[in-house]
Structure 1
């Protein structure tokens, strides 16, 4: 089976009514942030909160009765796992899912909740794939690859068909890249449907596997990335061939920009994006000149993010924006000093969130004390005015990095 506009349109008919036709809507706040005219495809609204349902259902529906009886196995960092588990349960197919051990608990729990047997193995997808292949051979299970499969790729390509039906004037599609299944299907569909449209891929800088494969270069892949859904060391053979023929460019984004994109989706669009889901927006934040003035379609391909991680990202972004300030004040140890400092900060409009009072630091005079203060401010200029006022009042002040030890 080869991937073509015909196989993708057939996939669209097959999944109709079983997979949500998600909206593709203008995002004026993100447009203002980036300088591009942005339209977002909200695949985080799927039942499993990610686009993977499309390809999974197409693949599972293609199985013969004898294959369904044997059961299926897949490896995934989470979203493909949930998609296979969910639709396998709907179709009455036993499913085993192998996931890397660091997979966010929210994804592991959801996959088990759909009735699949979950096996945790290894640190990255390559480790999980090796274990899945071993189990598949041992138990004679049918392999459902997360990206290097024509049925899977055709299913993912239905996203581009819907985007161009809803927004036919798009100049460019910006698509997250892991193993390449999503961008392969979307690129085939988009290029067949609209002449001249650009398809741009985005990889996490820690996992530039597709760029390395396209260039025939050995690249280093590894590290803890926010975009674990696209943290792939080995791209697919079929996807590499399609990407080489159809994709215009691939960009890399760093971790700080991924965090900024996740935060922007939450605070500006009021929607949840996991790291991989926000990679497209991260590219526009990292390379604004590349997309300035263009009508850009973004795929918010997944929203499965751990709530604690999301909370941490929001706090870190407040610090980066100068709206959360943490300082260490060294001053005289006398009655009323804490009240004076609090009054000064409050008078200038700072909102104190946390205070830690120390007297036993050996680098502080015996009659001195230190105060660690975390506060909300309006912006960096406002924070600077508070720091200047504290110093003018006779206190020694230095800023602390977020998370710096207060002991």
Structure 2
């Protein structure tokens, strides 16, 4: 029930104070939609790909490692890549042992980041669900603390701190477009705004986890395909975020792999920003016209990750 959720603006604000010494306050880049061949209007980009470890996930990672008692066995996480890199980074900073399970679909760039932060890296299965199952077994055997990528109170509270920053930096914002995988990001942000801002979920057509959940009325299994599968393709959205999304997020917008690629190319061409596919997914909804703002609507787009190798758009 939404009334029972501990993910509230007050708790998010407390979490922001807890993790503030360890995270970057990422900037807003304000542009004109005409720069991208769209109908003139304001577009702000929250450059969260500049966060430590290359994605927003560092917020939730620090919220967990600072807000929960960590055993001597350290921490363990299952990840498509970004969450694992974030947990590995936070553990390195705090002097905590970390073991990260990833699926074979994880990009080499993300795997190298995890190794570079000193965590033990284990490849388990082909998809995130396989890595998650392996991490559960590790917890039972070793007694390490599991840090869930999206279905954990501290994780959602950490991701919700992005909302604090956007609120302060774009006080007249009307709409925020957010990419969705497991839903920890949009769940935390929607819990912060609580309907004061229209929060639009954007998902790849190949992994419509929240879209399927909205249709069913509860989290259900969805396909895990497409070019953003290493960051936006869990088996299903989290139980914690779903009632928050039902109450405070819009019906998800689905975008194709081609539209995501076009968004990546446009971000590079016009802003010299390189994002991974998942990081460009929210912008793909705007660029493709799948989300069409009203005249004078003040829109912001969350660019959530950039853990990729250098890409050439010809």
> TM-score interval w.r.t. the shorter chain?
over 0.9
Alignment map for 1:206-221 (pairs within 5 Å):
206-216=206-216, 220-221=222-223
Of residues 259, 271, 294, the one that matches 2:273 is 271
> What is aligned with 1:203?
203
Of residues 136, 140, 151, the one that matches 2:139 is 136
TM-superposition CA deviations, 1:200-250 (whole Å, max 9, x none): 001110011111112218665133423531112221111112111211221
Alignment map for 1:13-28 (pairs within 5 Å):
13-28=17-32
Greater CA drift, 52-61 or 22-31: 22-31
Of residues 22, 39, 45, the one that matches 2:50 is 45
Normalised by the length of structure 2, the TM-score is: 0.92
Alignment map for 1:6-405 (pairs within 5 Å):
6-28=10-32, 32-35=36-39, 36-64=41-69, 67-191=70-194, 195=196, 197-216=197-216, 220-226=222-228, 228-287=230-289, 290-293=292-295, 294-307=297-310, 310-311=311-312, 314-315=313-314
Aligned partner of residue 54 in structure 2, secondary structure: coil
Unaligned 5+ runs, structure 1? 316-407
Aligned partner of residue 221 in structure 1, secondary structure: coil
Aligned partners of 2:253 and 2:7: how far apart in 1? 24
Closer/same/farther in 2, CA of residues 215 and 139 from structure 1, 3 Å limit: same
Tell me, yes or no, if the aligned pair for 2:48 and 2:303 is still in contact at 8 Å: yes
Aligned partners of 2:113 and 2:302: how far apart in 1? 22
Aligned partners of 1:268 and 1:170: how far apart in 2? 22
Closer/same/farther in 2, CA of residues 91 and 8 from structure 1, 3 Å limit: same
Aligned partners of 1:208 and 1:288: how far apart in 2? 15
> What is aligned with 1:331?
none
Normalised by the length of structure 1, the TM-score is: 0.72
Distance apart, 1:265 and its partner CA: 1.1
RMSD in angstroms over aligned alpha carbons?
A: 1.7
